[in-house]
Amino acid sequence: MKTLTQTKLNLSGSKDTRNKGKKKYTLITDIFRNPFSYLLLLPAALYTFIYGYMSLPWIAIAFQKYSFRTGIFKSEWVGLKNFKFFFASTNALTVTWNTVYLNILFLITGTVAAVLIAILMNEIKSKWFAKVTQSTLLFPHFISWVVVSYFVYLFFSMDEGFINLQVLKTLGIPAVNWYQTPLAWPAILTFIKLWKGTGIGVIIYLATISGFDSEVYEASTIDGCNRWMQIKCITIPMLAPIVTMMTLLSIGGIFKGDFGMMYTIIKDNGVLLPVTDVIDTYVFRALRKVGDVSNATAVGLYQSIVGFAFVYGSNWIAKKYFSEGALF
């Protein structure tokens, strides 16, 4: 508590000197003008401070040769040496590219699918049908990646897989050796990600749609709008701010690979890795035996910094052209 107010005090103080009295409105003024809003903000701010900001000093181990005995205060500082292992590797570019490329793929398809399904579901009038289908969309969310990877194997295995044995055979197409066809995997992974993650997105968008003013819809019906025009002219524009914000939030994680997913499904399959190896799996594989915390933290920091820069940039653009969707 004390530290928090102190922080704010100091903050406003230093700000004043920087702005040379141009603006007298400081954080303190803000708090005094809106005491009750700040009261409401307090629990969340405190929680974030304790669990978020107080942990930050430990990022220092990314620049240290860390040892249990010496801790973060007395471990030897080694500068950027811990970053070297990743950036000096010939694969740094490939895995970074894979991470970003796959994440963008997931992001775009995921958003489109979730918005589409939410809109379509919104058009469903049968209540029990809506209830049942919405519930089932959530099922995959609960299945762990390990189990998912098993299902994936049941589908794509060469000799006994569902696709080869049932689908392709019926169509008269020769069996495909999926686990050795790198080109197919970005699509397969995208599909799996869609299958597992869309349910959550649909719920978010459905909740948003249900908050829309029904009078607008009624008015448009009177004006002779059909349902397609309603979707196009009312629903989609009104969903735009939340879609933009969700996208911005996802951009922050664009340099972080989904380790649980990639590692369980692909494992160490060297044939597929040129297109599916992401930063997180690469680092895990490289450090598996060595177990160096400093190296791992360094790579994590790199991912966060670049991600943050991207969010900051996109947020700036969003703010300029579409302020309702901006994050901050």
Partner 1 sequence: MKMQRLFALIMAMLIASSVLAGCASTTDTKTTESTQTQTQTKVVLEPKEKLPVRFVMPGDPLPDQELVEQAINKKMLQDGVNLELKAVYVPWDVWEQKTNLMMNTGEPFEILQVMDSWISAASIVGRGGIVPIGAAYLDKYGPNIKKVVPTWAFDAGMINGKIYTIPAFGIEPAVRTGFITYRKDLFDKNNIAIPKSPEELSTAIETIIKSEKDKKYMYVPDDGDQQEMLHRWYDSFPFIVYDQLLFIKNDGTVKSWVETEEFKKDAAFNRKLYVDGIISPDILSLKDDIKQNAYKNSMYPVDVGEGLGWWPQQKLNTPEAVFEDFLVAPEKPLLRSEAYTNSNAISATSANPEAGVMFFNWVYANQENYDLLHYGIKDTHWKDLGERKIEPINPDKPTYSYPTWMSENVSLMRFSKDIHPTLELIDTLKFPGIKYEDTTNFITLGFRFDTTPVATEYANCMSEANTTFRPLANGVTDYDKNYPKALAKMKAAGIDKVVAEYDKQLKAFIATKTK
Partner 2 sequence: MKKTNIFDWLNYGFIAITSLLCALPMVLMVMVSITDERTIQKYGYDLLPKMYSLDAYKRIFTSGDMIVRSYILTVLITVVGTFLAVLITAMAAFALSNKKVRYRNGWSLYFFFTMLFNGGLVPWYLINRALHVNDSIFALLIPNLLFNAFNMFLVRNYMNSLPDELRESAIIDGARDTVIAFKIYFPLSIPVLAAVGLFYGMGYWNDWWNAIMLISDRKLYPLQYMLFALQSNMNMMTDLQKGGNMVGVIVPQESLKMATVVVTVGPIIMLYPFLQRYFIKGLIMGSVKG
Q: Which of residues 149-168 bind partner 2 (CB under 8 A)?
A: 150-151, 154, 160
Q: Is 132 in the site for partner 2 (CB under 8 A)?
A: yes
- The crossing angle, in degrees rounded to 10, of helices 293-321 and 236-252 is 150
- Among residues 234, 247, 263, 277, which is the contact residue for partner 1, using CB under 8 A? 277
- Distance between CA 76 and CA 18 in Å, rounded? 35
The strand pair at 76-77 and 64-65 is best described as: antiparallel
In the numeric block, which tokens belong to residue 296? 């791992």
- Among residues 87, 129, 316, 322, which is the contact residue for partner 2, using CB under 8 A? 129
Q: Select from 75-83, 178-186, 203-211, 271-279 the region that touches partner 2 (CB under 8 A).
A: 203-211
265: number of Cβ within 10 Å: 24
CB 126, min distance to partner 1, A: 40
Q: Is 85 in the site for partner 1 (CB under 8 A)?
A: yes
Q: Select from 46-54, 77-85, 104-112, 281-289 the region that touches partner 2 (CB under 8 A).
A: 46-54
- Among residues 83, 101, 212, 259, which is the contact residue for partner 2, using CB under 8 A? 212
Q: Is 115 in the site for partner 1 (CB under 8 A)?
A: no
Q: Which does 290 bind (CB under 5 to 8 A by kind): partner 1, partner 2, none?
A: partner 1
Q: Which does 34 bind (CB under 5 to 8 A by kind): partner 2, partner 1, none?
A: partner 2
Distances (CA, A) of 25 to 12, 32, 38, 42: 9, 11, 16, 20
For partner 1, how many residues bind (rule: CB under 8 A)? 59
* Helical ranges in the chain per DSSP H: 2-19, 27-33, 35-51, 71-74, 81-87, 92-122, 127-138, 145-156, 162, 169-171, 185-210, 214-222, 227-230, 236-252, 259-266, 273-276, 279-287, 293-321
CB 59, min distance to partner 1, A: 9
